[in-house]
Chains A and B, each alone.
Chain A
Amino acid sequence: MSAELLKALRDVVGREHVLHKPEDLLVYELDGTIDRSLPDAVVFPGNTEEVQGVVRACNALDVPVTPRGAGTGLSGGAVPTRQGVVLATARMRRILDVDPVERTATVEPGVANIRLSEIAAEHGLFYAPDPSSQKACTIGGNVAENAGGPHCLALGVTTNHVIGMEVVTASGEVEWLGSHGPEPTGYDLRGLFIGSEGTLGIATKVVVRLVPVPETVVTLLAIFDDVDSASETVSAVIGAGLVPAALEMMDTVTLQAAEAGLRCGYPPDAGAVLLIELDGIEEVVRGQVTQARAACNEHGATEIRTATEPAERELLWKGRKGAIGALGRIAPNYYLLDGVVPRSKLVETMGEVARIGEGYGFPVANVFHAGDGNLHPCLLFDEREEGATARVLEAGAEIMRVCVEAGGALTGEHGVGFEKNRFMAWLYSEEDLENMRRVRGVFGNEGAFNPCKVLPEGTGCGEMAHQKGALAAAGPDAYV
């Protein structure tokens, strides 16, 4: 790293908030995915002005900037693919305002997702989107990725709950997008920014909508012999006109891992578990629970557990929330995928996923948001085995291809990031992608602001050999 850059960064944020020694940089080379790249420096600005100062200093010296929240992302969004500076929001963790009348909270981007519900609780409110990493992941990262979570089926994802934000654009300007509550006039720049994966700018203040805590919540956990029966139950629940708050499924590999690690009391021969959560006023929920139970029984549930108290419900959720972590007990490494298919294609797609896993010799654990067709196959592997990492990426690419060909999408909630940018052509034409390039231009991103993310291009982005292998496995041609 140049002395000029180091001095410029220290001038903006202070000497103690710049890391540049290789040993200090190691934890910033990766997020929750497989790809890694070591930055030249990591800076920790403390406020909007400092964020702006860092972005401007980097732009002036033509140094790439990669924003970073908690680093829990699952598509390589926070990996500094072309080195340069990682701009971390870890110091920006202030709660600026909680307004029970407007039902909003205004916070800095480094605030953890779960803090929002904690600060809202005393007003009988909560923040709806709940990514599985919610104890760690930040609201700034959630904005970048348009994060979802198990409870997004009925209430929507981040874009439905973030009303406005102050941003520092890729070009280094400070601007408010959206509002503090009302609907602003003109183009929905807020909606455009959310989910842009940190390529248009970095949010420095975020206004979220808070919603009333449901009066009654009932969680059902139903155990089935196989995934097909559980899937048919999902269709029956939707067919009955219910929109549950959550509708989650786990398959047998996941259940065994969860049982081994968390002791949830799942029968050893269970083929699938379905979690159904219903909320609202008691008078309404009661009837819905009856309907949901009937659907489970009709489709061969071997056991149904019901919980209404928070502690009991927590217990039913334990296996689901800890499932991915528990996979560590049955394999040294896992590669967690995120794909979407029309819900009616779930069973068929899972069959394909299993076939691909078998072909490559990787066991597959499945956890998914069954209600919205968002599947998370998890490929279990051991990176110490020669070539395993490259092969697991190839298998992942094939699975993505299957999702696209089923009429689905490359990502439901993790983002495209670096992981899937080369697959974009399976879904979008050159002109479709051109729209996204134009939007980058509108926010002054000339290629160095979170480079190599979302779009399949950029100099210095294409050197990771195993990614090339993955593309070769699944085919580069446009699927339009």
Chain B
Amino acid sequence: MSEAAAQASPLVAGRAPEAVVAPASLDELRDLVAERDGRTLVPVGAGTQLALGGAPREPFTLVDVCGALAGEVEHEPADLTAVALAGVTLGELDAQLAGSGQRLPLDPPHAERATLGGVLAVGAGGPLRTRHGLPRDFVLGMTVLRADGELVKAGGRVVKNVTGYDLMRLWCGSLGTIGIVTSVAVRVLPRVETIDLRFEVRTLAEGQGLAERFLRADLRPELLDLTKEDGRWVGVVRLTEGAVPKAESIAEADLAPSSEGDYLAVRDLGFQKEEMLTVRASCPTSAIGSTAEALEALAPSRLLVRPLAREVRATWEEGSLPEGDAVAGAVGRLRAGLAESGGGLLAERIPTELRGALDPWGRPPTFARMAAVKAAFDRDGRLNAGRYVGGL
């Protein structure tokens, strides 16, 4: 039983569903989607990202898909692939892969309990995206329940494949607005021995410089995250054992052992219970410093920079939330500034009192094309309507 269904009345982007249903099988889920009753359907896995996006168009039903999409993982260690139903959690998947010394290096917030389908629908990575990229980069094939109730697929289960359009990339990050992911074939990797190290630098620029030197020295850090703590920047970096001596020699900072807690803190930053407002900017390297500065001016509770992934995240706890006008102004300015490079800023969590002031997504220049995609795959706006970019 997923958390979403377990809670009395889970809110989706601040709004309560009219009903919560949990189909027990894929057939039941299919029947539910095929029914045309004018309701918005909001698919949910473990519910780790229910705050994301705009409020669903009413009336809406929260559809817990975990029961319908549960089942065995087919792992083929010799092929470095696995096929799983979308309701499997990353934790369950990892446990199975670990049995053969393999892994799927995706670590979005609350990875252990997040479902594979949910993670792909949201599309966001975690610290490991520094080395391994986004969830979509691991998808070999997908089966999706289209808004008209048809089960359709793209890709396959081999690690290299250009047979037909890459619809998997369209489905990943689409937040269930053009189909509900039902099963996924992924590429997996061998597990490697790594060490997490912690360091401190005075300024963000120093931290960025160190990240750049590590990259240029071919140390291939799996993750490198910087957080602001008491006026200093603290870094956590994950390296293979063999890379540590060289890292020490070029670091110009002490590299100390880091705990699992340090890693989890950066992974889940912005997604803890008390964190009410969370924004994430995706910016060019040259704008990381100014973006972090602009967000810092709003006195966030925590600030994270993932320099090699060009990501800046800030979060505010209850009681230290900024004024609506101030945050809306800053977000607007940042979005305008990032537009030229094609970057963006996403408000991943918005407290109810700020919902009126803040558009979670901003409007990308390709919005018209996106609206055409939505219309082509969900003409009646049945799946997650209202929640995605521009209210799609």
Give A residues with C-beta under 8 Å from B. 101-103, 124, 145-146, 148, 152, 156-157, 159-160, 164, 175-192, 194-196, 212, 214-216, 235, 238-239, 241-243, 280-281, 283-284, 287, 340-344, 369, 372-374, 407-416, 424, 427-429, 431-436, 438-439, 441-443, 454
Contact = CB atoms under 8 A, between A and B. Distances in A.
Contact of B284 (A180, A186, A428): A180
B160 A416 contact: no
A179 B161 contact: no
A190 B364 CA distance: 13
A443 B372 CA distance: 9
Contacts of B285: 101-103, 181
Contact of B366 (A189, A342, A411): A189
Interface stretch (B27-35, B165-173, B295-303): B165-173
Given A101-B286, A412-B161, A182 B243 contact: no
Contact of A186 (B217, B245, B340, B389): B389
A144 to B, nearest CB: 10
Contact of B160 (A152, A175, A184, A238): A152
A194 B370 contact: no
Nearest to A147: B162
A372 to B, nearest CB: 4
Interface residues of B, number: 80
A190 B338 CA distance: 18
B45 to A, nearest CB: 20
Which 10 pairs, one residue from A and one from B, show the smallest C-beta to C-beta distance?
A179-B342, A191-B169, A182-B343, A241-B190, A185-B344, A182-B282, A284-B242, A412-B160, A215-B218, A438-B376
B174 interface: yes
B137 interface: yes
Contact of A185 (B161, B216, B361): B361
Given A152-B160, A182-B310, A186-B366, A436 B167 contact: yes
Interface of B: 76-81, 101, 123, 133-134, 136-137, 146, 150-154, 156-167, 169-170, 172-174, 178, 189-192, 215-220, 240, 242-243, 245-246, 282-286, 310-311, 338, 340-346, 361-362, 364-367, 369-370, 372-373, 376-377, 388-389
A226 to B, nearest CB: 19
Contact of B376 (A102, A175, A372, A442): A442
B70 to A, nearest CB: 24
Nearest to A413: B162
Nearest to A341: B158
Nearest to B343: A182
27 contacts: A102-B284, A102-B285, A148-B160, A164-B342, A176-B342, A181-B310, A181-B342, A183-B134, A185-B364, A187-B178, A191-B172, A212-B216, A212-B218, A281-B219, A340-B156, A340-B160, A409-B158, A416-B164, A424-B164, A427-B156, A429-B153, A431-B151, A435-B154, A439-B167, A441-B372, A441-B376, A454-B165
A342 B77 CA distance: 11
Contacts of B361: 185-186
B160 A369 contact: yes
Contact of B243 (A148, A178, A181, A281): A281
Candidate in A185, A374, A411, A429 with the most chain B CB atoms within 10 angstroms = A185
Given A187-B373, A283-B245, A431-B151, 17 more contacts: A102-B284, A124-B216, A152-B160, A156-B133, A157-B162, A175-B369, A182-B283, A186-B388, A191-B169, A195-B166, A239-B78, A342-B157, A407-B156, A411-B163, A413-B162, A441-B376, A442-B373
A428 B342 contact: no
Contacts of B164: 416, 424, 427-428, 432-433, 436, 454
Contact of B156 (A146, A212, A409, A441): A409
Given A160-B133, A175-B366, A215-B217, A188 B169 contact: yes
A159 B161 CA distance: 12
A346 B189 CA distance: 19
Contacts of A212: 215-216, 218
Contact of A283 (B243, B367, B389): B243
Contacts of B311: 183
A178 B136 CA distance: 14
A373 B366 contact: no
A241 B101 contact: yes
A281 B170 contact: no
A382 B216 CA distance: 51
A280 B243 CA distance: 10
B141 to A, nearest CB: 9
Contacts of A182: 282-284, 310, 338, 341-344
A410 to B, nearest CB: 5
A188 B173 contact: yes
A392 B360 CA distance: 56
Contacts of B282: 182-185
Given A180-B342, A183-B134, A196 B243 contact: no
Given A186-B389, A242-B190, A178 B217 contact: no
